[in-house]
Amino acid sequence: GENVEQHPSTLSVQEGDSAVIKCTYSDSASNYFPWYKQELGKRPQLIIDIRSNVGEKKDQRIAVTLNKTAKHFSLHITETQPEDSAVYFCAATSYDKVIFGPGTSLSVIP
């Protein structure tokens, strides 16, 4: 079955710096890659997603890249702000089955 790895597990950055989170997946049939943000005590919420026919997608300060050949995808957050502090989960989806990575705890230091 699908296996999703995510690195780093924790990340601290200074406000205004960039943050990068990387994921790898194993199932070549996966074709949809969402990223979820979960604030403490809250539910996961989608922040950006990318499908396998696209290599890069950007939405304001966040961007995602996908390398299907290498089975890698990454989340980039620029100009980080304290409210970006949360746990971020990547996921890989194959035929509606979603497998989440273990999460990255991001701390943005003011």
> Is 93 near other proteins (CB under 8 A)?
yes
**From 31-39, 58-66, 67-75, 78-86, span contacting other proteins (CB under 8 A):** 31-39
25 closest CA partner among 78, 91, 76, 84: 91
Cα distances (angstroms) measured from residue 102 to each of 3, 23, 99? 10, 10, 10
The tokens for 100 are: 């989440």
Pick the closer one to other proteins by CB: 34 or 73: 34
Task: Single out the residue of 3, 45, 67, 81 in contact with other proteins (rule: CB under 8 A).
Answer: 45
Interface residue with other proteins among 64, 86, 89, 108 (CB under 8 A) is: 89
Determine contact, residues 21/8, Cβ cutoff 8 Å: yes
Residues near other proteins (CB under 8 A)? 1, 31-32, 34, 43-46, 49, 51, 89, 93-103
